[in-house]
Structure 1
Amino acid sequence: MNDIYIYGASGHGKVVLDIALNLNLAIAGFVDRNPLLSKFEGYEVIKSVPSKANYIIAIGDNSIRQKIAQTSSGDLLPALIHKHAIIGGNVLLGQGTMVAAGAIINPSVIVKSNCIINTAAVIEHDCVIEDFVHISPNVTLCGSVIVGKGTHVGAGAVIIPGVKIGDWCTIGAGTVVIKDIPNGATVVGNPGRIIKSI
């Protein structure tokens, strides 16, 4: 693999850099459109991904991550997995997905492209996570949960077994989801209740 670029010179970029360095990957630099940035964490910052360069998107906002993936001319990396994550058997991880330290993904899980499985998240057996999802630190997805495209599950949330969460939802930090959630809903509380729908 050629040297890689990390798209996003901010806090999440530091997390992705840590994963890449733990895997002994060579870092070419960062990509960020902020005109004030020329260096980040000691690496050069450029404004766009060079054609055919290997890169991973290190931006927590799901809609921005989707836009970059659809418009960049580079080649997305395969999934980037911290060496202190635990990945069970028969797990499928899509391109551009990152798995942070302490995360546990148990058997027969599908995580599609450009997802974030953040620090110490637990994804139990037979879950399906669609493209551009962000699973925040310390989230627990119990068995057979489906998380729709573009959804953000906030830190410490718990989703009980068999629940289906729609596309582009926001699940608040600490929320306990006990029933299916429609597309575009914002859910908070214990038990989770919908406070906004798009």
Structure 2
Amino acid sequence: MPTDSLQLIGAGGHAAVVADAALLSGEGRMIVYSQDRDQVGHDVLGYMVQHLDEGIVLRRIHVAIGNNVVRSRLQQQFSGRGAIPTTVFHPQATIAATSAAGAGSFVAAGAVLAPRSRIAEGVIVNHRAIVDHDVLVGEFSHIAPGSVLGGGVKVGSGVLIGAGATVLPGVAIGDGATIGAGAIVLTDVSAGATVVGVPGREMRKNV
């Protein structure tokens, strides 16, 4: 295996999205792995999925799995073995010069990281999501397609912002919270809560 190959971990739909972005960004070599033997031999954009066993040396990786908990666990596990998480930006994403993205994060086509925004390691900013100025997004969160984080929003770790949701400027979202698709969030959200509707209302806490 060439030492500069991008090693993609995951073989589902999100992996195909990341692989496409990586190829368009000029990644010349890529290998796709999965720990799920049922996915081995499947095709991801022309790359045959290989089984990720204990003997494989991981060097430059991207964990392309949408589930926040699984992505966090695998990235931290493989980083502990010396692998380097690699950030992937689609060339049609808008990335401000004063924004910052942590190791292993992904920004999809049409997404925006506005000036002074910060996303931590392992964050997904999906298609056409907007992370406005001065927004902070905690590690291993997922900002789903078409969602909007207004200026100065603070998002904790392991948060899911559902497709098409809007979080108004200055609102804080606690760790592990879930914002339902299409919700409009007007006020702060506690850790572990689920918020749905317009205006957004807290429904329950995850346990």
How many angstroms apart in 1 are the aligned matches of 2:35 and 2:152? 39
Per the TM alignment, residue 90 of structure 1 is displaced from its structure 2 partner at its CA by 1.1
- The question of whether the paired residues in 2 share the 8 Å contact of 1:167 and 1:183 is answered with yes
How many angstroms apart in 1 are the aligned matches of 2:145 and 2:10? 19
- The answer to whether 1:22 aligns with 2:24 is yes
Distance 1:135 1:188, change over 3 A: same
Residue 194 of structure 1: SS of its match in structure 2?
Answer: strand
Cα RMSD after superposing both structures? 1.4
For 2:73, the aligned partner's letter is K
How many angstroms apart in 2 are the aligned matches of 1:38 and 1:78? 24
Per the TM alignment, residue 31 of structure 1 is displaced from its structure 2 partner at its CA by 1.4
Give the alignment partner of residue 157 of structure 1, picking from 150, 165, 186.
165
How many angstroms apart in 2 are the aligned matches of 1:59 and 1:74? 20
- 1:12-67 C-alpha deviation (Å, 9 max, x unpaired): 00000001100120333211112122232232322248334211011010000011
- The answer to whether 1:13 aligns with 2:15 is yes
Residue 194 of structure 2: SS of its match in structure 1?
Answer: strand
Residue 31 of structure 2: SS of its match in structure 1?
Answer: strand
- The answer to whether 1:43 aligns with 2:44 is no
Q: Name stretches of at least 5 consecutive residues in structure 2 with no aligned partner.
A: none
The aligned counterpart of 2:143 is: 135
How many angstroms apart in 2 are the aligned matches of 1:67 and 1:89? 30
The aligned counterpart of 1:113 is: 121
For 1:166, the aligned partner's letter is G
Superposition pairs for residues 65-144 of structure 1, below 5 Å? 65-72=71-78, 73=81, 75-144=83-152
- The question of whether the paired residues in 2 share the 8 Å contact of 1:55 and 1:74 is answered with no
The alignment's TM-score, normalised by the length of structure 1, stands at 0.95
* Identity among equivalent pairs (%): 35
For 1:89, the aligned partner's letter is A
Residue 101 of structure 1: SS of its match in structure 2?
Answer: coil
For 1:43, the aligned partner's letter is Y
How many angstroms apart in 2 are the aligned matches of 1:64 and 1:78? 17
How many angstroms apart in 2 are the aligned matches of 1:137 and 1:48? 32
The runs of at least 4 aligned residues of structure 1 exceeding 6 Å deviation read none
Per the TM alignment, residue 168 of structure 1 is displaced from its structure 2 partner at its CA by 0.4
Per the TM alignment, residue 160 of structure 1 is displaced from its structure 2 partner at its CA by 0.2
Per the TM alignment, residue 107 of structure 1 is displaced from its structure 2 partner at its CA by 0.1
- 1:126-165 C-alpha deviation (Å, 9 max, x unpaired): 0000100000000000100000000000000000000000
**Aligned residue pair count:** 198
